[in-house]
Amino acid sequence: MKEAKSETVAGLKQKVQGRVVMPDDREYNEVRQIWNAMIDKKPAVIVQCANAKDAQMALRYAKENELDLSIRGAGHNIAGNSLCDGGLVVDFIRMNKVRVDAGKKKAYVEPGATLGDVDKACQASGLALPVGINSTTGIAGLTLGGGFGWLSRKYGMTIDSLTSVDMITAEGEAVHASSSENSDLFWAVRGGGGNFGIVTQFEFDLHNIGTEVFAGLLVFPYAQAKQVLAHYRDYILSTPVEFNAWVVMRKAPPLPFLAEDVHGQDVLVAAICYFGGAEEGEKLVAPMRTFGDPMGEHIGMAPYTAWQQAFDPLLTPGFRNYWKSHNFTELHDGLFSAMIDYAGKMPSPHCEIFIGVVAGKTNEVPADATAFSSRDMKFVMNVHGRWEAAADDDKCIGWSREFFKASAPYASGGAYVNFMTEEEASRVKAAYGVNYERLAQLKAKYDPLNTFRMNQNIKP
């Protein structure tokens, strides 16, 4: 580990209003923990910022001491890029405020906020932002990589509701970027994955959804997976964009509405969310019950914030995680065969394969309108390797990689950078597609020395 100079660390501590954590501090090991337990990096300095100026001071210190730099929002990034060995971490865990202007339908969000923080603040006025499905995910990383969830069919990706950012450039300059100010930088941060600076505040447009949704789970036997998946494919795109259903193959958790002998069995689960009333929602769900012979269901009106936390118990910190992901414009029988094959040999009871539908508003945005270019994707698939012990690393990573390879022939172009692991640098160009060259030029303009390289890196 590269040691930071003690006299300059003392100076840094005097300049920042937040907290500076060093390797010999008692809380160091706790502070450096992030969501994915596979990541075990040991930074030389962690600066827990109290404000944007602290982030400027931290950036300056890292450059003066020739330290690698990483940015941590909520620490949920699968690749572990929020930490760096022997470098400096700009940690926003203390900057998690969300301010909502209900009259203007705006949210102003600090980079340490989680999706749960955002949902809670917005729902006080019946408003929402299209975000992911795990409330402990950080808003910063999610947004910078694109962001999608239950609301994306209706309102697009998270970046499609982003209206401006306050950020710090590689030169340490505080700037505002929007469609009318530093517009090229604003274009780049909408999907550019943190390559262009340190965002210290996000401004979003919000959407009226009320406070309740018609949502829940429909569980089918694994033996019926092929017919259920085929019916799902034929049905889902015919539904209104207010309706969303994702399919998940995994071992059944001990859900109270399932018989005990189903717990631990291989199953296919349809996770359903409709932004409307129970009567119309019931009409949309009814055909799905005929896709197979459901083993159990729990569907009804629920608080949106509760639904947004429904999958948190399956995604708690402290587990080892390895993901692989593809985009799809259509779902082929060959993909279903690969899913069924590999779902039947999951190496851990915590592994899963899911397909989420994002077709709708997401597809109406031109590929070159934001840095995120995969606007033709109608479905996203993630193979989620998840397990407890390091001794199982090889078999769980191997299973994930093998399925990723088996499903590749049916995928469309592009990739979702938020689901990419650390060793996938070769996919970065493919992820940005037609936008990569422009991004590389903007990287050369705003970060020619590649100061912000702890990410799915776009080289200047």
247-288 tens-digit pLDDT: 999 999 999 999 999 999 999 999 999 999 999 999 999 999
Predicted pLDDT of residue 1? 52
Per the listing, tokens 């998690």 go with 96
Predicted pLDDT of residue 347? 96
Per the listing, tokens 């359903």 go with 272
Please state the φ and ψ torsions of residue 162, each to the nearest 5 degrees. -80, 125
d(CA 54, CA 45): 13
Domains of the chain (ranges, CATH numbers): 6-91 (3.30.43.10), 98-209 (3.30.465.10), 212-419 (3.40.462.20)
Predicted pLDDT of residue 420? 86
Instruction: Collect the ranges in the chain with pLDDT lower than 50.
Output: none
Burial class (CB in 10 A: 0-12, 13-18, 19+), 241: middle
Predicted pLDDT of residue 220? 98
Predicted pLDDT of residue 234? 97
Predicted pLDDT of residue 3? 62
d(CA 151, CA 167): 27
pLDDT tens by residue, 355-372 = 999 999 999 999 999 999
Question: Which residues make beta-bridge pairs with 63?
Answer: none
d(CA 236, CA 272): 11
d(CA 32, CA 304): 32
